[in-house]
Chains A and B, each alone.
Chain A
Amino acid sequence: GAGVSQSPSNKVTEKGKDVELRCDPISGHTALYWYRQSLGQGLEFLIYFQGNSAPDKSGLPSDRFSAERTGGSVSTLTIQRTQQEDSAVYLCASSRGGTGVTHEQYFGPGTRLTVT
């Protein structure tokens, strides 16, 4: 079946502009995660959704970052007033979800964001 898809694959934006990154999880996966991969910080967790709720937003680096998920499926990560330090690859992962149970996380190909 189809894996996790993300769009766009690449995004170049000017400092100060807002960007939206999209994630389509694997069908039926209730858990969705956003991670960021950068040279300086490695792979770091941003936010977790279970269904449409986000019980863990602890990794969002500032209030310029927000995310939503609708219909228990597609998620959008929004970065407002982008800064050069936001340049990174933004990765989305999904899993079957549920606490107390180990469910493998499957990653999408990522969106490479470059802020000029």
Chain B
Amino acid sequence: QQQVKQSPQSLIVQKGGISIINCAYENTAFDYFPWYQQFPGKGPALLIAIRPDVSEKKEGRFTISFNKSAKQFSLHIMDSQPGDSATYFCAASIVNIGGATNKLIFGTGTLLAVQP
């Protein structure tokens, strides 16, 4: 129930294309869903996050789509660039329950390669 399932494991996209990464969860208590970007040798960096009261959030070229009934959320990277090549992790946590620690449960990661 604590798992977050992420797909695909790897993704190759042409420059200018759309990259789509999907995640699914089981625990309906999750109420915070961030996406992190990680470059080799670096720590994960927060890209964008969403709460379940909205179905979509957009920041620049990055968009999260959230489907509460299906317990799924996805990251869309528009106009993908070679500089976007990195590993992307979805995550989920519980915020609004007494005693919640906001610890992140991560998906298994997606290695994105954007070809020039």
Q: Which residues of A contact B (CB under 8 A)?
A: 4, 31, 33, 35, 42-45, 48, 50, 55-56, 59, 91, 93, 95, 99-110
Asked if B70 is at the interface (CB within 8 A of a chain A CB), the reply is: no
* B:70-116 near A, CB below 8 Å: 89, 91, 95-96, 98-109
Asked if B60 is at the interface (CB within 8 A of a chain A CB), the reply is: no
B103 lies within 8 A of A48 (CB): yes
Known: A42-B108, A44-B106, A55-B101. A102 touches B49 (CB 8 A): yes
B45 lies within 8 A of A42 (CB): no
Known: A43-B89, A99-B98, A100-B96. A33 touches B103 (CB 8 A): yes
Main secondary structure of the interface of A (DSSP, over half): strand
B103 lies within 8 A of A59 (CB): yes
Known: A42-B109, A43-B89, A102-B51. A107 touches B44 (CB 8 A): yes
A101 nearest CB across to chain B (Å): 7
Nearest neighbor of B89 in chain A, beta-carbon distance: A43
* Chain B interfacial residues counted at CB < 8 A: 27
Give CA–CA (A33, B32) in the complex, Å. 16
A96 nearest CB across to chain B (Å): 11
Main secondary structure of the interface of B (DSSP, over half): loop
Give CA–CA (A110, B96) in the complex, Å. 29
A-B contact pairs, 25 of them (CB 8 A): A33-B103, A33-B104, A42-B106, A42-B107, A42-B108, A42-B109, A43-B89, A45-B105, A50-B101, A55-B99, A55-B101, A56-B103, A91-B43, A93-B43, A99-B100, A99-B102, A100-B96, A100-B98, A101-B95, A102-B49, A102-B51, A102-B95, A105-B34, A107-B43, A109-B42
A91 lies within 8 A of B44 (CB): yes
- Could you say which residues of chain A place their CB within 8 Å of the CB of B106? 42-44
Asked if B46 is at the interface (CB within 8 A of a chain A CB), the reply is: yes
A90 nearest CB across to chain B (Å): 11
Give CA–CA (A102, B36) in the complex, Å. 15
Nearest neighbor of A91 in chain B, beta-carbon distance: B43
- Could you say which residues of chain A place their CB within 8 Å of the CB of B43? 4, 91, 93, 107-110
Give CA–CA (A94, B106) in the complex, Å. 16
Nearest neighbor of B108 in chain A, beta-carbon distance: A42
